[in-house]
Amino acid sequence: MTIAVPILPSSQLAALNEAYRRAVARKRLRMTIATAVFVAALAIAAIGAEVNLRTLFTQFGNFVSYFDRILTLESGARVWTDIVEWFWGWRKWLVLLGETLLISYVGTLVGAILAFGLNFFAAENTSPARWLRFAVKRFLEFCRTVPGIVFALIFVIAFGLGPMAGVMAIAIHSTGALGKLFSEIVENADMKPIEGLRATGAGWTSCMRFAVLPQVSAGFAGYTLLRFEINVREASVMGFVGAGGIGQELLVAVRKFYYSDVSAILLLIIVTVFMIDIGTGWIRGRLFGKEARA
Amino acid sequence: MSQLPKPDAAGLRARYPDVFDRPAAARLAFPAMLLVAFAVFVFGLVDLDFSPARLVAGLHQLGWITMMMIPPNPGASLPAYLVAMGETLSIALLGTTLAAVFALPVSLLAARNIVPSGIFRFPVRRFFDSIRGIDQLIWALVWINVVGLGPFAGVLAIAVSDFGAFGKLFSEAIEGADKKQVEGIRASGGNALHEIRFGLLPQVLPVIAGQVLYFIESNTRSATIIGIVGAGGIGLQLAEQIRVLEWQKVSFLILMILVAVAAIDWISSRLRFAIIGRRAVA
Confidence of residue A25 (pLDDT cuts 50, 70, 90): very high
Determine how many CB atoms are found less than 10 A away from the CB of residue B168.
Answer: 17
Separation CA B34–CA B39 (nearest Å): 8
Q: What is the ipTM of this complex?
A: 0.76
pLDDT of residue B264: 86
Q: How many domains does chain A have?
A: 2
**How long, in residues, is chain B?**
282
pLDDT digits (tens, 9 = 90+) for A70-98: 888 877 777 777 778 788 888 889 999 99
Nearest-neighbour CA in chain B from A12: distance (Å): 30
Amino acid at A131: W
Q: Does the residue A78 lie in any domain?
A: no
Q: Does the residue A241 lie in any domain?
A: yes
Mean pLDDT, rounded, of chain B: 83
What are the C-alpha distances in Å from B122 to residues B17, B119, B225?
47, 6, 33
In terms of Cβ atoms closer than 10 Å to its own Cβ (0-12, 13-18, 19+), residue B186 is middle
**How long, in residues, is chain A?**
294
Q: B137 φ, ψ to 5°?
A: -65, -35
Statement to judge: residues A43 and A97 lie in one domain: no
Separation CA B144–CA B152 (nearest Å): 9
Q: What is the CATH number of the domain that holds A213?
A: 1.10.3720.10
Determine how many CB atoms are found less than 10 A away from the CB of residue A171.
Answer: 24
Q: Does the residue A274 lie in any domain?
A: yes
- In sequence order, what are the beta bridge partners of A78? A72
The 8-class DSSP code of residue A6 comes to: P
User: Is the CB of A113 inside 8 Å of chain B's CB atoms?
Assistant: no
Q: Is there a contact between A75 and B168 (Cβ–Cβ < 8 Å)?
A: no
What are the C-alpha distances in Å from A225 to residues A168, A288, B18?
18, 12, 29
In terms of Cβ atoms closer than 10 Å to its own Cβ (0-12, 13-18, 19+), residue B205 is middle
Q: Can you give the pTM of this predicted structure? A: 0.79
- Residue A269's domain comprises 87-293
Q: Which residues of A touch B145 (CB under 8 A)?
A: 62, 66, 254
Answer positive or negative: Cα dihedral of A91, A92, A97, A100. Answer: positive
Statement to judge: residues A41 and A95 lie in one domain: no
Statement to judge: residues A22 and A126 lie in one domain: no
Statement to judge: residues A41 and A91 lie in one domain: no
Statement to judge: residues A23 and A143 lie in one domain: no
Q: Is there a contact between A122 and A137 (Cβ–Cβ < 8 Å)?
A: yes
Statement to judge: residues A251 and A170 lie in one domain: yes
Statement to judge: residues A128 and A236 lie in one domain: yes
Q: Do B137 and A269 touch (CB under 8 A)?
A: no
Q: Three-state DSSP class for A78? A: strand
User: Is the CB of A61 inside 8 Å of chain B's CB atoms?
Assistant: no
Q: Which of A274-278, B28-32, B57-61, B152-156 has the lowest mean pLDDT?
A: B28-32
Statement to judge: residues A91 and A41 lie in one domain: no
Q: How far out from the chain centre does Cα A168 lie?
A: 18
pLDDT of residue A90: 84
Q: Do A106 and B250 touch (CB under 8 A)?
A: no
Of the candidate CATH numbers 3.40.50.300, 1.10.3720.10, 1.10.10.10, 3.60.9.10, the domain formed by B79-281 belongs to 1.10.3720.10
Q: Does the residue A275 lie in any domain?
A: yes
Q: Three-state DSSP class for A72? A: strand
Statement to judge: residues A25 and A149 lie in one domain: no
Q: Where are the domains of chain B?
A: 79-281
Confidence of residue A293 (pLDDT cuts 50, 70, 90): very low
pLDDT digits (tens, 9 = 90+) for A27-66: 889 889 988 988 898 888 888 777 777 777 777 777 788 8
User: Is the CB of A8 inside 8 Å of chain B's CB atoms?
Assistant: no
Interface of B with A in 72-131 (CB under 8 A): 86-87, 89-91, 93-94, 97, 129-130
Q: Three-state DSSP class for A188? A: coil
pLDDT of residue A291: 46
- In sequence order, what are the beta bridge partners of A72? A78
Q: Is there a contact between B232 and B83 (Cβ–Cβ < 8 Å)?
A: no
pLDDT of residue A292: 42
Confidence of residue B81 (pLDDT cuts 50, 70, 90): confident
Q: Does the residue A20 lie in any domain?
A: yes
Q: What is the DSSP code string of B131-152?
A: HHHS-HHHHHHHHHHHH-SSHH
Statement to judge: residues A195 and A250 lie in one domain: yes
User: Is the CB of A44 inside 8 Å of chain B's CB atoms?
Assistant: yes
- Using the predicted structure, report yes or no on whether residue A3 has a pLDDT greater than 80: no
Counting residues of chain A whose pLDDT is more than 90, the rounded percentage is: 18
Q: Which residues of B touch A50 (CB under 8 A)?
A: 87, 150-152, 232
Separation CA A210–CA A176 (nearest Å): 25
Confidence of residue B281 (pLDDT cuts 50, 70, 90): very low
User: Is the CB of B68 inside 8 Å of chain A's CB atoms?
Assistant: no
pLDDT of residue A49: 73
- Using the predicted structure, report yes or no on whether residue B39 has a pLDDT greater than 50: yes
Nearest to B48 among A66, A102, A273 (CB): A102
